[in-house]
Structure 1
Amino acid sequence: MEQKWPQQLWLVRHGQSAGNVAREVAEASQQFLIDIADRDVDVPLSDLGKRQAAAMSDWFHGLGPDDQPSVILFSPYVRARTTAQAVLDRLDRSQLTAVAADERLREKEFGILDRLTPLGIRDKYPELAEQRAHVGKFYFRPPGGESWCDVILRLRSVIDTITREYRGERVLIVAHQVIVNCFRYLLERLDEDAILAIDRAGDVPNCGITEYRFDPAAGKHGKLMLVQANFVAPLEDAGTPVTHQKDQPAAPKS
């Protein structure tokens, strides 16, 4: 039977963003609102985030032409697009099968909670904080926003595209923390408890690499198997600080 999966799949969270930094400052000073004027889609990388993207890109370049990504898909948000561009700048574009921004890879939408710190959410929308605590972050959908289940639904569509158009390719996806975790939920066939346990264990590192390879002996028709998660040796080897900051409009872990 013809292989339906890519030969290899990498999931990468964008480099540290100005939003990550602003959120950290707001929480440390017990502010209600994250001080950043940009739309979430327009939030750029910080200077450190650019260095992280460069170090990660050097690692992909070092794989050599036979093992480098042949397809690059990325969130259209500036921080993810800029991170993906850093990789593109280190590869031979003529050897790539596809390069595309895909809105289905965008950040989880936080609706009316956007730019609020956890303290700000409890102050301005105590009923939503209570609802989230009762329902849990996997199913909780803020007004105008998305739950993790909503994100998973759009990523199922991305997987359909990948298995239809990029069979046997080496696919790199550059996106966001929730996107990485929700892909893990789908590819590793996890349940709510398992993926939330991974989430509680720590935030996805900026420019951390999660890697899968196709194993023809796995399952009935072969499947992608996890090789490594949140791999940050490229940053460490380059002497670039590793950050694990939350995305800017997030609620506390549960």
Structure 2
Amino acid sequence: MAERAPLLRNSYWVLRHGKSIPNERGLIVSSPENGTLQEYGLAPEGIEQAKLAGELFNKELKEKNVLIEKVCICYSPFSRTTETAKEVASALGIPFEGAQCKVMEALQERYFGPLFELFSHDKYTEIWALDAKDPFMSPAGGESVADVASRLATALTAIESQYEGCTVLVVSHGDPLQILQTVIHAAKEHSSSDSEGIISRIKGIMVHPILSHHRKFALLTGELRRVF
């Protein structure tokens, strides 16, 4: 029997962006066109949350004797995540424009579609009800849970091909980080041959009973969590 291949070459932490202006206003902002606007960046409270998350992450790294040179920050291009990543990089003493910080479109917010964009946060309950019923079904014009899982698998593959033996902090959004945690935890348990990569493993666990429960990995704004 072939030995199970190591799932990932790096260790992973996730951080949901700090409280944003859309959070304060109770708006869904999920399209790249809107999400990258400065007017939808961090609220003052969110900046403080990001700073605290950076300090906490720095403390965790020191306790685990992780060298700062072996830390990478991969983040969504949205304003609220970019600003969060900058605060963390500052807390760690990492140059934000340097090689240790990488913006990735594949980590951007789940697009919920035109029927939800710039509408009230109250409509999230409709989306999550749909997810629980069928995680392969997209909100009209938006992304399904499975769609997001597929692009996150692509993001992981890109990170794994670029870094090895690093501690990677993924700075993203509520739904993508819930889905990322879901697929990583499930993939850990997925038996495989020693030649199977992360995308193959994730494809193997992309089934209704797993993807429909992504909400159990929910994060608060500014919450830091180790994943792998």
- TM-score when normalising by structure 1: 0.65
> CA distance change for structure 1 residues 149 and 142 in 2, over 3 Å: closer, same or farther?
same
Greater fraction of residues in helix: 2
What secondary structure, in the 3-state scheme, does the structure 2 residue paired with 1:174 have? strand
Contact between 1:72 and 1:172, CA under 8 Å: does it hold in 2?
yes
| Partners of 1:135 and 1:66 in 2: CA distance | 38
> CA distance change for structure 1 residues 81 and 195 in 2, over 3 Å: closer, same or farther?
same
**Cα deviation 1:203-245 (Å, max 9, x = unaligned):** 41111122134xxxxxxxxxxxxxxxxxxxxxxxxxxxxxxxx
Greater fraction of residues in strand: 1
Structure-1 residue corresponding to 2:166: 169
- Give 1:92 shift: 3.2
Give the total of aligned pairs. 193
Matches within 5 A, 1:229-244: none
Counterpart check, 1:82 vs 2:83: yes
Counterpart check, 1:52 vs 2:58: no
- Give 1:6 shift: 3.6
Counterpart check, 1:106 vs 2:103: no
**Cα deviation 1:22-61 (Å, max 9, x = unaligned):** 11xx7xxxxxx99xxx923321111111111111111122
Which residue of the other structure, out of 166, 181, 185, is the alignment partner of 1:184?
Answer: 181
- Give 1:202 shift: 7.5
> CA distance change for structure 1 residues 41 and 155 in 2, over 3 Å: closer, same or farther?
same
Identity level (%): 22
Matches within 5 A, 1:1-254: 5-23=8-26, 39-42=34-37, 43-62=40-59, 63-64=61-62, 66-68=66-68, 70-93=71-94, 98-113=100-115, 114-117=117-120, 133=130, 136=133, 138-189=135-186, 191-199=207-215, 201=216, 203-213=218-228
> CA distance change for structure 1 residues 53 and 118 in 2, over 3 Å: closer, same or farther?
closer
| Partners of 2:57 and 2:144 in 1: CA distance | 32
| Partners of 1:177 and 1:119 in 2: CA distance | 15
What do you get for the CA RMSD once the two structures are aligned?
3.3
What secondary structure, in the 3-state scheme, does the structure 1 residue paired with 2:92 have? coil
> CA distance change for structure 1 residues 47 and 136 in 2, over 3 Å: closer, same or farther?
same
> CA distance change for structure 1 residues 206 and 145 in 2, over 3 Å: closer, same or farther?
same
Q: Give the gaps of 5 or more residues in structure 1.
A: 27-32, 123-128, 214-254
Q: Give the gaps of 5 or more residues in structure 2.
A: 187-204
- Give 1:67 shift: 5.0
What secondary structure, in the 3-state scheme, does the structure 2 residue paired with 1:144 have? coil
- Give 1:20 shift: 1.1
What secondary structure, in the 3-state scheme, does the structure 2 residue paired with 1:15 have? coil
What secondary structure, in the 3-state scheme, does the structure 2 residue paired with 1:207 have? coil
- TM-score when normalising by structure 2: 0.71
Contact between 1:6 and 1:170, CA under 8 Å: does it hold in 2?
no
Structure-1 residue corresponding to 2:202: none
